[in-house]
Amino acid sequence: MNILLSAGVAFTLLAVIYCVVKWGNVVCIGVTPVRLFTFIAILFTSGLDAGLIMFPLTEFGTYEDIVKNPEYAFSNPMAIEFAYWGFLIWSFYFLTSFYFCIIEPRVGFFEIPFVKILNNIVIIGTCAFTAYLLLINLPWYLPQLGDGKTVLLVFYVIVFAVILAAIFSSTDIKYLKILSVASTWLFLALIVGMWLGAAIAPQAFVANISMIGNYFGNLHKFVFPLNDYHAFYLFWWFAWSIMIGQFTSRFVGGLKTWQLLAALLILPSIPLALWIAVLYYYHSNGLATGGLVTIAMVFVGITFVINSLDSLIRLYTDNLNFTTQRFGKSKYILGNLVILCFLTLLFQLDFLKIQWVGSLVILMYFACLAYILKYKRKEVAAINSSPEGRVVDFNIINNVT
């Protein structure tokens, strides 16, 4: 399976280079363009989930233990954590955002019935995996509600409420923009709050940030999986990539292709680096994260999950025409609730794995390339602009976003 993963990573990076070289100055305009900050906020909060809030504190110790994990000896825990969440892997989202904004309207690969079914299976399955990750991590972050290990009924109730909130939010696009921007500000506020709460000296913070520089010095070593855990992360990013690109491409607001790539690599990586640096200070100094800190982290993590589920639910329901306009709000909410709760339980029972979903996505990448080469080579070669009819009126954008 890791051979397929490595092939997928290599293909993705080569495709990114090709797109920037060939179409670097093409202006990318989605069907619902928004300002850059709103676009990045939608991308950041839709493309990440509670794992970013909940995983790092549980992982730093593993990355430090180079006796048990010698493959990490070349780097440091800060750089490794950043590698798993930041910079280069956001090129996955660039490729799919660019594809759905510029190429897919001329190709229509994802409108082929069989491909459309597979794509929506991926989206629904990843929705459930997102809810499952929240479920299994809540005991660690809320030990006061249990023994810190066992998934109790109260955690199922919390996840049920989160799924329900996301389904309700997906019934109106206005909720997405409000949630995305609010979640971004909440995340930044959490970083500042935990920084001030730990009284982190500027020099200590700069020292932590500087450790991330090791990532860029060893960037080539993070391209392919270091071990099965790194492979898990890469499969996870692949599982998200097509649907996040399909969704966020709607909101691209007039960036050139090279600017879109730069924005996706750099802008999300800045808050990620700040967050990881703050968390590593807590870890390295043995600071407790209980009380208000835990509550704040769980709250922000839950808003991220609601955001992610909102965008994914909106995407697959649009694709399948399972909309409130067609079935009414009650049936829409009930139908989605049953599906997502059922699949979340399948992940909990270990009947489904995100690696399978990621593998399916990689195969779809290669199938899409084969389809283009066989049937749509001329159409793609002739591309020199966004699809006709898409014009950015920045005055309108500024008023509505």
pLDDT recorded at residue 394: 47
pLDDT recorded at residue 400: 42
pLDDT recorded at residue 393: 53
Region 354-363: mean pLDDT is: 91
pLDDT surpassing 90 at residue 278: yes
> Which pairs with CB-CB distance under 8 Å and at least 24 residues apart come from 201-209?
204/281, 205/277, 205/278, 205/281, 208/78, 208/277, 208/280, 208/281, 209/273, 209/274, 209/277
Distance between CA atoms of residues 59 and 222, nearest Å? 17
Ranges 45-59, 148-162, 384-398: which has the least confidence? 384-398
Q: What CATH number does the domain containing 273 carry? A: 1.20.1740
pLDDT surpassing 70 at residue 351: no
pLDDT surpassing 70 at residue 86: yes
Q: Which two tokens stand for residue 381?
A: 């070669």
Confidence category of residue 389, pLDDT binned at 50, 70, 90: low
pLDDT surpassing 80 at residue 380: yes
pLDDT recorded at residue 398: 47
pLDDT recorded at residue 401: 45
Please answer whether residues 364 and 121 qualify as being in contact, where contact means their C-beta atoms are separated by less than 8 angstroms.
Answer: no
Nearest to 230 by CA among 352, 365, 75, 348: 75
pLDDT surpassing 70 at residue 352: no
Q: What is the pLDDT of residues 298-348, one digit of tens each?
A: 888 888 888 888 888 888 888 888 888 888 888 999 998 998 888 888 887
Confidence category of residue 171, pLDDT binned at 50, 70, 90: confident
pLDDT surpassing 70 at residue 395: no
Q: What is the pLDDT of residues 212-255, one digit of tens each?
A: 999 999 999 999 999 999 999 999 899 989 988 988 898 898 89
* CA-based end-to-end distance of the chain: 43
Q: How many domains does the chain have?
A: 1
Type of residue found at 326: R
- The boundaries of the domain holding residue 111 are 2-400
